Amino acid sequence: MHTAVVFIAVAALIASACAAEESATTAGGPATTMLVTSTASTASTTKVAPSAPTTTTTSTRTPVGEPALGLPTGSLLGVVGVAHDDALNLRAGPSATSEILATLEPTETAIVTTGRARLQPAAIWFEVDAADSEGWVHAGYVAFLGATDDATAEAVAAGGGVPTAPSMEELGRGVVAALSGGITASRVTMSVEPSFGDLAETTFDVVGLEDDSVLGYRLHIFADDTTAGFSLHSIERTWFCVRGVDAAGLCV
């Protein structure tokens, strides 16, 4: 772990921030759990670059805000907690009003930090290399991707049987509820919409767990399409880590 980086858990802050969350197109969002210096947030997700933004777009690449302690240079991150019909904006500056350089897909994994971070009054922003550009992303929507395990038996045991539902989205939300164990996350998003083949499948992101090293997880859910609906087949769970991962892919 980089000795210059200070990490503090903020699960309690996330819960309150969600109550004031705006839609993606109005640039609202939850507080980051990666680094903490404030209690509110400014989101950076949107389906497309807005053609008529409500605030003046800043085209300058000069960083604004205060310098902040960031992640080690060269850290590899992925997008987390962004819905399948949304995207994470890569911006020219650390602000939700800065020029949009590119949009990153909800399951993008090739995001490399430069080591620089900036603090705005309500958010932390990381400078990164992604999508053949160097820009800034809201820290609440990126994380280290840890190990992947099989959560099928855990979900079946927690739900008292094999989960079923009329639709894949309902099945996914039921699986999330079964695996949560009563722990409230700041946001649950369907990051990959359902597809149908030999098995139906979809992906859900769960972000904002009450843990100082584990931010959440991604559930890749497979199901059998039956006459009665969709019946859980298997779950691949990938962990989201706040501070980094060890050689085994475990959150540190």
Last residue of some domain: 144, 162, 180? Answer: 144
What is the rounded CA–CA span in Å between residue 29 and residue 19? 10
66 in a domain, yes or no?
yes
In angstroms, the Cα distances linking 130 to 93, 133, 142, 144 are 14, 5, 12, 15
Is 22 in the same domain as 91?
A: yes
Looking at the structure, tell me whether residues 119 and 169 fall in a common domain. no
Residue 3 has pLDDT above 50, yes or no: no
Q: Is the pLDDT of residue 59 over 50?
A: no
Q: Compute the mean pLDDT over every residue in the chain, rounded to the nearest whole number.
A: 80
Is residue 134 located within the same domain as residue 157? no
**pLDDT tens figures, 84-104:** 999 999 999 999 999 999 999
Q: Count how many Cα atoms sit within 13 Å of the Cα of residue 114 in the half-sphere of its side chain.
A: 15
Domain stops at, among 92, 110, 144: 144
Evaluate whether residue 216 is within a structural domain.
Answer: yes
Q: Which residue has the higher pLDDT, 10 or 228?
A: 228
DSSP state string for 218-234: EEEEEEEEETTEEEEEE
Write down the H helix ranges in the chain: 11-19, 152-159, 168-180
- How far apart, in whole angstroms, are the C-alpha atoms of residue 52 and residue 55? 9
Domain assignment present for residue 54? The answer is: no
Give the dihedral of Cα atoms 29, 33, 35, 37; nearest 10 deg: 60
- Of the candidates 70, 162, 161, the one whose C-alpha atom is nearest the C-alpha of residue 119 is 70
Beta strands in the chain, from DSSP E residues, in sequence order: 66-67, 76-79, 88-91, 100-104, 111-120, 123-130, 133-138, 142-150, 164-165, 187-196, 200-207, 214-226, 229-241
Pair 128, 153 in one domain: no
Higher pLDDT, 116 or 60: 116
Q: Range of 183's domain?
A: 146-241
Residues 107 and 153 in one domain: no
Task: Check whether residue 183 and residue 131 sit in a common domain.
Answer: no
Task: Note the pTM of the prediction, 2 decimals.
Answer: 0.77
In a domain, 3, yes or no: no
* 93, 162: one domain: no
Give per-residue pLDDT as tens, 190-204.
999 999 999 999 999
- Both 107 and 163 in one domain: the answer is no
Residue 37 clears pLDDT 70, i.e. is over it:
no
